[in-house]
Amino acid sequence: MSKSKQAKLLKIYKKLLAHFGPQGWWPGDTPFEIMIGAILTQNTNWGNVERAIANLKQSNVLRPTSLVRIPNAKLEKLIRPAGYFRAKAKKLKIFCRWLIKQGGVKKLKKKPLNLLRPELLKVWGIGPETADSMLCYALDKTNFVVDAYTVRIFNRLGLIKTSDYHAIKDYFEQNLPKKLGVYKEYHALLVALGKHFCKKTKPLCKECPLKK
Ligand code: SF4
């Protein structure tokens, strides 16, 4: 751990928290709902995911056994608002089958992170960002989530010079205090910063809480 890197990361964290306030991530009534949301949010915005989850709830199928059994065409229709609905329906079914085989969410929570993460990454359709979101927000593992906002913001700030997922994850995990609450909040705050200020094409640096 580098003390200066840790100090910088914490300074950014405090400024973002002071500006945006606690983000209360991840939205979801149960760990299972959070895991389903992590798959549905791939390549789409959260508003679309909310509509797909509302459809699943309304049809009373938001549980692993129901999602495994529901006909493909019906599932595709329910999650259509989240986009890529054919691929996502397949991902949901494969993930739910795997989850049932593992003994459910409670059993997963008991597994150590170093064993669970590689197993999760072997499930078809689960990449590093999706796996890490599930591990951090649904399974309460102290495991940092990296996304496109993190890559953009930290490269622009000049604190990293890479877009490699695991190099960035290591950078945070080696320099932040190992606290689940900090990991959860930090990622959520970076999403808020990326959405509202550090935009892809035109960053709003003058108004940005990190302008100094
Ligand atoms: S909006 Fe500008 S000041 Fe803020 S983090 Fe992005 S590049 Fe830096």
Encode pLDDT of 132-154 as tens digits: 999 999 999 999 999 999 999 99
Domain boundary assignment for the chain: 3-25+144-207, 31-138
Does 1.10.1670.10 match the CATH number of domain 3-25+144-207?
Answer: yes
pTM metric for this prediction: 0.96
| Ligand 1 site, residue 199, Cβ cutoff 6 A | no
pLDDT tens, residue by residue, 194-210? 999 999 999 999 999 99
Tens-place pLDDT, residues 30-44: 999 999 999 999 999
Which CATH number, 3.40.640.10, 1.20.1250.10, 1.10.340.30, 3.40.50.2300, labels domain 31-138?
A: 1.10.340.30
Please check whether residue 208 is in contact with residue 189, taking contact to mean a CB–CB distance below 8 angstroms. no
Angle, to 10 degrees, between the axis of helix 148-156 and the axis of helix 165-175? 70
pLDDT above 90 for 1: no
Ligand 1 center to 153 CA (angstroms): 7
